[in-house]
Structure 1
Amino acid sequence: MKTKTDFINKIHLIISACIVVPIAFVYGFNPGLSFDMSLETIDEHNFYKAIMGLYLGFSALWILGVFKNQYLKTAVITNLIFMLGLGFGRIISILMDGIPTSGYVFGTVAELFLGFYGLWVLKRLAEDKCV
């Protein structure tokens, strides 16, 4: 990142990838390690490995946006949709199912923060015509 503006516009993508990549591998290979769940069927294992692939694919796009400016806008848009989708999904769960463990509560706050930060960056990019 060459400038302060670059840092401001891209830091959330780096943070997101640094969080999402390890979580992807936990989902794909050992979801019981961090989450209170036990996968019983091949279909359940297949589902979580597909989620792993989705998380890794989005993370790759976000990192691409950090290094290649022509992908920055796409990276920001997908990141904010990803994070706000997760965050608002968790809010629905909190309202309907109750308060989860502290890790999930923190995750909800972090996802909403990163999503709204991405929305702010997207607005900056449009105003500055940076991308």
Structure 2
Amino acid sequence: MTNRLIAYKIHLVISVVIVLTVAIVYGFNPSSQFNIIMDTVDEHNFFKATMGLYIGFAIVWIMGLLNSNYFKTALLTNIAFMLGLGLGRCVSWWLDGPPTLLYRIGTIGELLLGFYGLWVINSKVFKKP
């Protein structure tokens, strides 16, 4: 794999590893890592659904890593996912106050990955001559 190809795909690899890990934590034990206490079945259901959504996106990104026909779709969904989460967390930070340290770090990471994806999609790889 060339250095250029690695540069264009590394954020998807990072995203898959982080998002799959967070999905499992959200789905099975969110209070172990986050200041979240669930009291109802609906809350458990919500976090399991979030886990499924995260796993679904990770599958799209893996498909893009393994098959060039899906790379642009993987890239676009990763940009939307990361910037959507990051910007939503910024709104919450502004309106609700600062979150725990782990969420602060996550917000910065989501924004960095989203903007990195924008850089990749605006690079020469996707420009037609």
TM-score by length of 2: 0.95
| In 1: Cα distance, 2:50 partner to 2:75 partner | 20
Residue 69 of structure 1 aligns with which residue?
68
Q: Does 1:38 align with 2:37?
A: yes
Residue 99 of structure 1 aligns with which residue?
98
**Contact 2:34 2:102 (C-alpha < 8 Å) held by counterparts:** no
Q: Which amino acid aligns with 1:68?
A: N
Distance of aligned partners of 1:57 and 1:35 in 2 relative to their CA distance in 1, 3 Å threshold: same
Alignment of 1:99-118 (within 5 A): 99-118=98-117
Q: Does 1:18 align with 2:17?
A: yes
Residue 126 of structure 2 aligns with which residue?
126
* 1:45-83 alpha-carbon deviations (Å, 9 max, x no partner): 111100000000100111111110000000000000000
**Contact 2:30 2:36 (C-alpha < 8 Å) held by counterparts:** yes
Q: Which amino acid aligns with 1:127?
A: K
Structure 2 portions without partners, runs of 5+: none
Distance of aligned partners of 1:128 and 1:67 in 2 relative to their CA distance in 1, 3 Å threshold: farther
| In 2: Cα distance, 1:59 partner to 1:49 partner | 15
| In 1: Cα distance, 2:36 partner to 2:18 partner | 20
Q: Which amino acid aligns with 1:32?
A: S
| In 2: Cα distance, 1:94 partner to 1:41 partner | 25
Q: Which amino acid aligns with 1:115?
A: G
> Residue 102 of structure 1: CA displacement?
1.4
Q: Does 1:7 align with 2:10?
A: no
> Residue 128 of structure 1: CA displacement?
6.0
**Contact 2:28 2:48 (C-alpha < 8 Å) held by counterparts:** yes
Structure 1 portions without partners, runs of 5+: none
